[in-house]
Structure 1
Amino acid sequence: MKTLIVFNHPYEGSFCNAILESVLAGLKKGGHETDVIHLDKDKFDPVMSKTDLAAFVKARSDVKDAMLMLSPQVLDYKKRLEDTDRLVFIFPIWWELMPALTKGFIDKLIFPGIAYQYDENGKMKFCLNKLKNVTVITTMNTPSFLYRTIFGNAIKKSLLRGTFWKLGFFKCKWISLNMVKGSSEKKRKDWLKKIEKRFVNL
């Protein structure tokens, strides 16, 4: 079983980076095969260009030609995404949403001819056939209650429901770590231990 981790944080000393290390440690202990897409180190371009949008339109009727219009980096990510059994996103929540690189990954990889296609009735059909589950791990400084009730639970609505559920893929889990900046060292270590254990026992 292979796990693909899509990681987005520019600072190597971040708590997100500590989470990544815990996830990798757990996967290693569990004997799982891993692959990491580090969007910041890859200098991933999140912007949908004119060519990308033209490919998006063309993919509805001619997937093969549409794929030829995509960048080599996106095609590499496509291959790795199609070859994974489990997908894990790790990123901070900034101003209630994911950073630009993560949003760009969604825009460019949850794409017709890659993650889904249209059937004869024009309905979207999920086509990452190997994928068994998606886990999203986020950090934020907003209290959980406020994020859900005042700020609209944006990650759940946009990424889980608005992306994966919309395509008919429902095996999604969100691990939200809140008020990270003010958390104690003990609290952070407990979080990391629980995350490592979770990924040992996938």
Structure 2
Amino acid sequence: MKKILVIQGHPRSESLCGSIAREYATAAQQGGAQVDLLDLPRLQFDPILREGYKAEQALEPDLAKAQQLIRAADHLVFVFPSWWASMPALLKGFLDRVFLPGFAFKYRKNSPLPEKLLKGKTARIFITMDAPAWYYRWFNRAPGLRLLKFATLEFCGVKPVKYHIFGPVRGAPEKRLQKFLNEARRTGAQEAK
């Protein structure tokens, strides 16, 4: 049975991102996958890596559990809004605190390249935004997507990383929002296999 971990990174659980995460998770579960949903605003943790990598910062119970779920998962799903062309501070803080050396990657002697400790996992990213998706890709150069896909997940060995960019959502008619939810549902059912 495929194990999927969905990480909802919008600071409000009851948001379009929250709905996308729940639709994906429900469809994947109905498709036969074992699914866990981490709704970041419901977790209790300090999002600031206080000393960088200079000193160890004890993981709160919710972050220790998140590491266990990530380690056990075959497939990771991230859902978040694009704010200032990147991700909300809550999700960035989660990544800073959880994707640590010794867990997600390991420094190697005599090499600037790390050992990738999350090899064998795949990922899916859903990003919502007020701007049109083409604007985000072509004019902004998709910085939030690139940060998560290349500089975080692939850096740690997660491949392939596929994505959906949903926009514009501000003032979108119900029909367009429903299309986004349907796409999340369809993708969840597909990726359960």
Give the TM-score range, shorter chain. 0.7 to 0.9
CA displacement 1:7-33 (0-9 Å, x = unmatched): 122334311121122112211220110
CA displacement 1:113-133 (0-9 Å, x = unmatched): 11111234332011124x421
Listed as ranges, the matches of 1:66-77 within 5 Å are: 69-77=58-66
Which residue in the other structure is 2:114 paired with? Answer: 124
Maintained 8 Å contact 2:11/2:41: yes
Counterpart CA distance in 1 for 2:189 and 2:125 is 17
Task: Specify which of 109, 129, 151 is matched with residue 140 of structure 1.
Answer: 129
Listed as ranges, the matches of 1:28-43 within 5 Å are: 28-43=29-44
Maintained 8 Å contact 1:44/1:101: no
Task: Specify which of 175, 181, 193 is matched with residue 182 of structure 2.
Answer: 193
Mark the CA change 1:70 to 1:10 in structure 2 (over 3 Å): closer, same or farther.
Answer: closer
CA displacement 1:7-66 (0-9 Å, x = unmatched): 12233431112112211221122011011111101133211113xx3xx346xxxxxxx5
Which residue in the other structure is 1:155 paired with? Answer: 144
CA displacement 1:145-166 (0-9 Å, x = unmatched): 2212322311232111222233
Identity of aligned residues (%): 28
Higher mean displacement: 120-129 or 79-88: 120-129
> TM-score normalized by structure 1?
0.84
Count of residue pairs the alignment pairs up: 189
Which residue in the other structure is 1:114 paired with? Answer: 103
The alignment yields a C-alpha RMSD, in angstroms, of: 2.0
Maintained 8 Å contact 1:45/1:101: no
Task: Specify which of 79, 89, 96 is matched with residue 100 of structure 1.
Answer: 89
Listed as ranges, the matches of 1:175-190 within 5 Å are: 175-190=164-179
- 1:137 positional shift: 0.7
Where in structure 2 are there 5+ consecutive unaligned residues? none
Counterpart CA distance in 2 for 1:121 and 1:81 is 28
Mark the CA change 1:12 to 1:73 in structure 2 (over 3 Å): closer, same or farther.
Answer: closer
Amino acid at match of 2:16: F
Amino acid at match of 1:111: L
Maintained 8 Å contact 1:2/1:84: yes
Counterpart CA distance in 2 for 1:167 and 1:2 is 19
Maintained 8 Å contact 2:4/2:74: yes
Counterpart CA distance in 2 for 1:148 and 1:194 is 19
SS at match of 2:78: strand
Counterpart CA distance in 1 for 2:127 and 2:23 is 14
Higher mean displacement: 86-95 or 187-196: 187-196
> TM-score normalized by structure 2?
0.88
Maintained 8 Å contact 1:90/1:138: yes
Which residue in the other structure is 1:48 paired with? Answer: 49
- 1:90 positional shift: 0.8
SS at match of 2:110: coil
Which has the larger Rg? 1
- 1:168 positional shift: 4.3
Where in structure 1 are there 5+ consecutive unaligned residues? 59-65
Which residue in the other structure is 1:63 paired with? Answer: none
Amino acid at match of 1:71: E
Higher mean displacement: 160-169 or 22-31: 160-169
